[in-house]
Amino acid sequence: MRRLSARLFAAVVAPDGDEDVVAAVGRAVEQVRGRPVRLHAVAFPPEIASGLWIDRASHDVIAYEENTDLDHQLVIIGHEVWHMFEGHCGSLTGHGPAASRAGEGQMPGALRTVVASICDADPAGPPSVEQTDTGLHVALRADDPDVVRHEEEAEFFGYRFATGMKEALAEARSLADPELLADRIRVSMVHRFRRP
C-alpha cells in the first residue's frame, strides 16, 4: 500500500484549484497504471455502491459518486484504485452476454442501469452484444471472506489515499507559491546563519 501510495503521490501534478483535483488524480493514476484510466462522476442510486471500477479491453473506468464532497470522492476513487491495481474481480456487467448472470439476481437492476449509462457515455462506447470486454468490480457477495478482505483493504487504502493526496497537493501548492517559498527560504537561512 505504501509503495502504490508513494508512486501515485509522486505522479500527481498539483492543479490550480480544487475543481481540478479529480482530473489531476486521474492523470496520476493513468501514469502509474500505464494505460488510460477514465474517471466518471456519476449519481449512484442510494441503495447501491458509491463507486466502481470497470476493466475495459483498452482502458479502465472508475466511476465515483458525484453528489458528495471532494474528500469523499477521493476516498471512493482510492478505494477503486486499490481494487484496480490488485486485480480484484467481482462480477461482469449486465451488458452483453453477462446479462444472464445479472438476471440471476447477482447484480441489482439499479447497478445494471448505472453501468450501462457509464459504458454508453464512454468514448469507447458500449461493448458489443456478441462479446463484452467489460469486467466490473463490485462487491456483490459480502458473505465471501475473500470479498470482505478485499473490501476492507480497499477501504483502508481509500482513506489513506484521500488523506495522502490532500497532503501531497497542499505541499505541492506551497512549493509553487512564491510567497511561501520565500518564507521557507528565510526561515532556513535564519537557522543556518544563527548569530551568537
189's grid cell: 537561512
Which strands sit side by side in the sheet containing 60-65, from one edge to the other? 37-42, 60-65, 51-55, 135-137, 91-92
Phi, psi of 15 (to 5 degrees): -80, 170
Q: What is the C-alpha to C-alpha distance for residues 77 and 91, in angstroms, rounded to an integer?
A: 19
Asked if residues 61 and 137 have their Cβ atoms less than 8 Å apart, the reply is no
The full set of domain ranges for the chain reads 2-192
- Is the model's pLDDT at 167 over the cut of 70? yes
Q: What is the C-alpha to C-alpha distance for residues 181 and 110, in angstroms, rounded to an integer?
A: 50
Q: What is the C-alpha to C-alpha distance for residues 143 and 80, in angstroms, rounded to an integer?
A: 20
Q: What is the pLDDT of residue 56?
A: 81
Nearest to 118 by CA among 76, 49, 63: 63
pLDDT band at 97 (very low <50, low <70, confident <90, very high): very low
- Is the model's pLDDT at 141 over the cut of 50? no
Strand partners, 42: 65
Cα–Cα distances in angstroms (integers) from residue 167 to residues 68, 135, 160, in the given order: 20, 32, 11
**DSSP assigned state of 105:** I
Rounded to two decimals, what is the model's pTM? 0.74
In the chain, beta strands by DSSP E: 37-42, 51-55, 60-65, 91-92, 135-137
| Cα 149 versus chain centre, distance | 19
For residue 193, the surrounding DSSP H or E stretch is none
Provide Rg for the chain, Cα atoms.
20
Nearest to 40 by CA among 71, 61, 21: 61
Question: What is the tens place of the pLDDT at every residue in 116-132?
Answer: 777 777 776 666 543 44
A 10 A CB-CB count for 82 gives 25
pLDDT band at 115 (very low <50, low <70, confident <90, very high): confident
